Structure 1
């Protein structure tokens, strides 16, 4: 069965700004994420996990504003990942 590339763009309020997060599903349990701060500097990180628990990958140099908003980002991402839409397109 051929797997489809799933890409999701989320706009999330990470105090005090609304920022865009671009996610690419690499496997069932890994997403690559990229985002830019207000000055346009891009940051890249990985989300790893499963249906009930997600965490940031082992990146060493995440900006402080991403670290400060880690729980909010994981919460938003978990709610999107649990949507049947993502799993439906990825598994069909």
Structure 2
């Protein structure tokens, strides 16, 4: 019997955006690829926002199935930097 285990990587980072400290939850999506992370956070009303950060050819891209506020797209580099910092800590 061959059993293999895949480590689940998930962590939370606090990021200050537009003068407000926001919590971002990162989870590696092992089914979607090597460098694919599902991210969620909350907007001002407490609604959850879900999006995906994926890396191809050393370029990170941000995709979502729902419309996202501009402040997420405008701070993509900061969110990627926090993702990479979180990976180094785990």
Specify every segment of 5 or more residues in structure 2 that has no aligned partner in the other structure, as ranges.
none
Q: How much has 1:26 moved relative to structure 2? A: 0.8
- Counting matched residue pairs gives 84
Retained in 2: the 8 A contact 1:35–1:44?
Answer: yes
Q: How much has 1:71 moved relative to structure 2? A: 2.0
2:51 alignment partner in structure 1: 45
2:18 alignment partner in structure 1: 15
Structure richer in helix, relative to its length: 1
- The separation in 2 between residues aligned to 1:18 and 1:78, in whole angstroms, is 19
Q: Which has the higher contact order (CA 8 A, sep 6+)?
A: 1
TM-score, normalization by structure 2: 0.76
Give 1 or 2 for the bigger CA radius of gyration.
2
Specify every segment of 5 or more residues in structure 1 that has no aligned partner in the other structure, as ranges.
87-92
Retained in 2: the 8 A contact 1:51–1:78?
Answer: no
Q: Deviations over 1:55-84 (max 9, x none)?
A: 213546111121222222122223333x1x
